[in-house]
Amino acid sequence: MSAASFQAPLGLLSRRRVLGVGAAMAGAYGTSSVASLWPEQAGVHAENFFGAALLPQFRGDARVVPALAERFPWVQHGENTRHPLQIANAFDASLALDARATEGWLGERQFLVGRGKAVLPWAPMFERPSSVVAANRDLRALAGTEHLFIKDEGSDHIAIYGNKVRKYEFLMPNLYYGGVRRVYSHGAYGSNHCAHLALTARFAQFHAAPGPDGMDVVLNLYPQAITENVRVKLRLLAATGVDLRFLEGDAAVGLSIKLHSQLNKTTQRSTEGFIDPGGSSPLSVLGHVEAAMELARQIESRSCALDGPPDFVFLPIGTGGTAMGLAVGFYLLGWPTRIVATCSQDKSVLARLVVNGDVTEPFDIAHARHLLAQAMPWIRKLGLVGGNVTPEDILKDRFSYDNDTWRPAYGKMSASVAEGARLARQAGLVLDGTFSAKSFNTLTRYGENRLLAGRRVLFWNTYQRFPFETLLTENDAWAKDLPADIQSRLAQA
Ligand SMILES: Cc1ncc(COP(=O)(O)O)c(C=O)c1O
């Protein structure tokens, strides 16, 4: 089915606002020819939205200082520095970021605060630190290692929290202060990024302006295997009131991402902006540099179970922002820590070539390396590394990957991954089937092969396990908003 064929179920959408990407892009581009390249496509704007009051979340605080600034004080706005760039708390209204001159493309923008100095706004949106806990005996036995710790990026109580939100803490205020009030992004049906972006953009605080001035969200979704988790995500998206559009096939998805990314290629203020899949961008890599500093602070202040830098960190990799940010952080800390990243998918040689310009490395890995190269200017401008430090210097001896465990498919678990996830859950560790369960499986195989003996091992659990289903109505009226073919896929699953 092509993107255009989504016009078919229009009858089902009769009471809802239906927009076409063509129309939306035309709004962004005036009479741009980009709009005419893209077929008119139906979208769904659900109406049963539940509102911010239902979402337990952290309130913006202008006094919070990033952990990065505790170690490298000059990165904090207000401190003396010879470097051209600092980080400023986005809730500080006295900065009047809306009125500042800016440099750079939308979403990757620095705000000029005087005499050649610029800031990046950062909006802390959840309470720090996320916890580091010692794994219990059952988990240690399962993983085959004695010194196992978990950085827990999930919360049972706070909805807007963890891995994705660390990226939005840089992205959302950057877009907002660039004038953006509607943001476009892409992801698979069950994308954690899409779910968390919908919640964050519409309901979280990420700027100093009075009032609950959020952003509209337009999500372009593409198929993945329908699991219970995916069903909850679609239900959640339907409930948040975001615009949903549906794509099919690598080519349509790739083209749509390329076209929408053009929204950000402006140095002017703009009301419409784009966020890359997975929320990873050169700027948002800083979110996990910050996370590495948070971990260092926990270890050094002896406020967590881990009593020194980990020898290994196991984590999943999708678009690479998490792994690359942590790699930069560990490099800056001078830690010998090795990251072992478990890929979440791979793609054809053609897709590798078109997207990454590299056919030799797995899709996720080449993409991540590229992202790191693009993030280097931010790291340098903040004065964190000198001009001669390269991405290779950062990743050398610090990064390896597993490109097997993701099979049989993105979002689907092999029998051994599923069994590991089941046992981990019994032992108290909740994992998702697309990312974290696969990473945990890589870890257990390292353990079985005695590669972790006597080593400090940290499992970076990226999964935000908040029970979103508890916020949603029980009936299945939500699904009636979706195009007919997606309803039938849900019914068959
Ligand atoms: C639970 C989870 N873990 C890991 C990842 C991958 O993170 P990244 O895209 O930063 O590589 C994602 C999202 O894409 C995710 O949802």
CA of 434 relative to ligand 1 center, distance in Å: 9
* 319 pocket-lining for ligand 1 (C-beta < 6 Å): yes
For atom 1 of ligand 1, the residue with the nearest CA is 463
Spans of all domains in the chain: 132-161+283-468
400 pairs with which residues across the strands? 340
List, in order, residues 6 or more apart from 204 with CB less than 8 Å away: 57, 125, 160, 165, 168, 172, 214
Say what the pLDDT of residue 32 is.
31
Say what the pLDDT of residue 419 is.
98
Say what the pLDDT of residue 62 is.
93
For residue 199, give Cα distances in angstroms to 18, 53, 194, 204, 322.
Answer: 21, 12, 9, 7, 20
DSSP 353: I
* 145 pocket-lining for ligand 1 (C-beta < 6 Å): no
Say what the pLDDT of residue 489 is.
85
* 192 pocket-lining for ligand 1 (C-beta < 6 Å): yes
Q: Cα Rg for the chain, rounded, in angstroms?
A: 22
CA of 343 relative to ligand 1 center, distance in Å: 10
221 pairs with which residues across the strands? 187, 246
Q: What is the position in ligand 1's atom list of the atom closest to the CA of 432?
A: 1
Say what the pLDDT of residue 56 is.
59
> pLDDT truncated to tens, each residue of the chain (493 aa)?
333 222 222 222 222 222 222 233 322 222 233 333 344 344 554 444 555 566 656 778 999 999 999 999 999 999 999 999 999 999 999 999 999 999 999 999 999 998 889 999 999 999 999 999 999 999 999 999 999 999 999 999 888 999 999 999 999 999 999 999 999 999 999 999 999 999 999 889 999 987 767 899 999 999 998 998 999 999 999 888 899 999 998 889 989 999 999 999 999 999 999 999 999 999 999 999 999 999 999 999 999 999 999 999 999 999 999 999 999 999 999 999 999 999 999 988 888 888 888 899 999 999 999 999 999 999 999 999 999 999 999 999 999 999 999 999 999 999 999 999 999 999 999 999 999 999 999 999 999 999 999 999 999 999 999 998 888 877 777 777 788 888 888 888 7
Q: Which CATH number fits domain 132-161+283-468: 3.40.50.1100, 3.30.420.40, 1.10.800.10, 3.40.190.10?
A: 3.40.50.1100
Q: What is the position in ligand 1's atom list of the atom closest to the CA of 288?
A: 10
Say what the pLDDT of residue 216 is.
94
Alpha helices in 73-205 (DSSP H): 137-143, 163-177, 192-203
Say what the pLDDT of residue 14 is.
21
* 405 pocket-lining for ligand 1 (C-beta < 6 Å): no
pTM for the model: 0.90
For residue 93, give Cα distances in angstroms to 96, 208, 210.
Answer: 6, 5, 9
DSSP 409: B
Say what the pLDDT of residue 424 is.
98
Say what the pLDDT of residue 50 is.
57
Say what the pLDDT of residue 336 is.
96
Say what the pLDDT of residue 356 is.
85
Q: What is the position in ligand 1's atom list of the atom closest to the CA of 368?
A: 11
User: Probe ligand 1: pick from 191, 236, 435, max atoms within 8 Å of CB?
Assistant: 435
Q: What is the position in ligand 1's atom list of the atom closest to the CA of 325?
A: 10
